[in-house]
Chain A
């Protein structure tokens, strides 16, 4: 008898043992010729089978069954939700939902495209950006800062209005006017800084200032007269640098009552004042107020 035959006898006896059809002794009595080889194996198999015959705890089995049933019901609910509708609806039943879905998808695609384009632009900006180097223009003071010529023009306008209205001019205003005139004179020292048109405007403003100051000076005395004298000197300096030296004021009367101050310019000759004469009651005193609001 070969090895294959013993394998068959062993398997047959083993199956009978595991299935409970025969005991070990019954199998050994069936195959007495193989008893010597068969018995130790069958006894060992019986032992192994007994060791593996473990019953799962009842609560484990019950808990597992409950979870299993719950999983079955969950899947059934999902199937109920999905399957019957998909099978039962015809194409016209799907049409409204499909239309809505298409609109929503289209809107989402449109928004996505816009967002992507915007992101792309931002990315381009980031890539093309250069390090910031502050330029003199960017760090310059605000535009509201006036040039000396503009300040003079503005203050002359205020002064002219005050003289015409017969208002009083404060000493502080005159000092500011003197300073603006001095700055204008300084700026004229650089030929490249002031253009031809600005020089013409400066001549006009300075001439007007000189006349107005002379008008006020005729009615002033003491401290005010000294301030006016300094202001006249400053504007005379401007006129000198512009090549428009004021000529001495022509004599209105045989005996001049107000000659140009020697500090202004020896050759300064103010032209006759075109301004109307202040009213007799309106005393233009630099010390008195109200004050014409000087422009900033």
Chain B
């Protein structure tokens, strides 16, 4: 889930991307697209919203990357702040026009077998349902850590919180989710405790 290159490699690519280098921008896109997609899916619960918003996030990145500065935050933290803002903006729009279709009604079509797809989406649906009861900070930590694959340090920067605080929030969120998943009906058998 983490980037495949080290900090120096990422820095070089991001610096090149800031100058408009197409290959560098493409590399960032390829690397971060799945992570941004998962993060938005975890926050929105709808694959179609996740697809559209992920595209929008990268267009926003394209507009803003020239102004990115390393001293403020790691690139990933900066990128997921943009993703978070896109989610907030989308939720605001949904609040005005009504929520889109829930996760279980919007299964994506992919090359995976139908049984795998259904099982994965049922698992996600159950987690999402449990996560809805969590406080916003806990939901965000879970999404950044488990869906986006950020480290505790990156999550802390993305949320403008201390690392210790993020660890505590993470601990509470996992404990709460475990409790809820144990209480809820087991609709799938993948990796259950």
Contact = CB atoms under 8 A, between A and B. Distances in A.
B59 A68 contact: yes
Contacts of B55: 63-64, 67-68
B77 interface: no
B20 A48 contact: no
B178 A44 contact: yes
A19 interface: yes
B93 to A, nearest CB: 20
Contacts of A54: 37-38, 41, 47, 120, 124
A41 B171 contact: yes
Interface residues of A, number: 41
Nearest to B180: A44
Interface of B: 1-2, 20, 22, 25-26, 29-30, 33-34, 37-38, 41-42, 47, 50-51, 54-55, 58-59, 62, 108-112, 120, 123-124, 126-127, 142-143, 145-147, 149, 151-152, 164, 167-168, 170-171, 174-175, 177-178, 181, 190-193
Given A15-B151, A18-B149, A56-B51, A48 B142 contact: yes
A11 B167 contact: yes
- Closest 6 A/B residue pairs (Cβ): A44-B178, A43-B193, A52-B147, A51-B123, A56-B37, A51-B127
Interface string A95-136: 000000000000000000000000000000000000000000
Contacts of B142: 48
Contacts of B112: 55
B149 A47 contact: no
Contact of A56 (B25, B42, B54, B149): B54
Interface of A: 4, 7-8, 10-11, 14-15, 18-19, 40-41, 43-58, 60-61, 63-65, 67-69, 71-73, 75-76, 79
A55 B33 CA distance: 10
A72 B110 CA distance: 27
Which of A10, A43, A48, A64 has the largest count of B CB atoms less than 10 A from its CB? Answer: A48
Contact of B178 (A40, A52, A58, A60): A40
A64 B54 contact: yes
B146 A45 contact: yes
B149 to A, nearest CB: 7
Contacts of A47: 123, 127, 181, 190-193
A49 B146 contact: yes
A4 B165 CA distance: 11
Nearest to A50: B191
B1 A41 contact: no
Contacts of A48: 127, 142, 146, 174, 177
A49 B25 CA distance: 28
Contacts of B54: 56, 60, 64
Contacts of A72: 20, 22, 25-26, 62
A79 B177 CA distance: 49
A44 B175 CA distance: 8
B164 A57 contact: no
Given A65-B26, A71-B59, A56 B33 contact: yes
Given A52-B143, A75-B62, 15 more contacts: A8-B167, A18-B145, A18-B146, A44-B193, A52-B124, A52-B127, A52-B146, A54-B47, A56-B34, A56-B54, A57-B109, A58-B111, A61-B34, A64-B33, A76-B20
A54 B42 CA distance: 10
A291 to B, nearest CB: 91
A72 to B, nearest CB: 5
A56 B40 CA distance: 11
Nearest to A48: B146
Contacts of A14: 145, 170
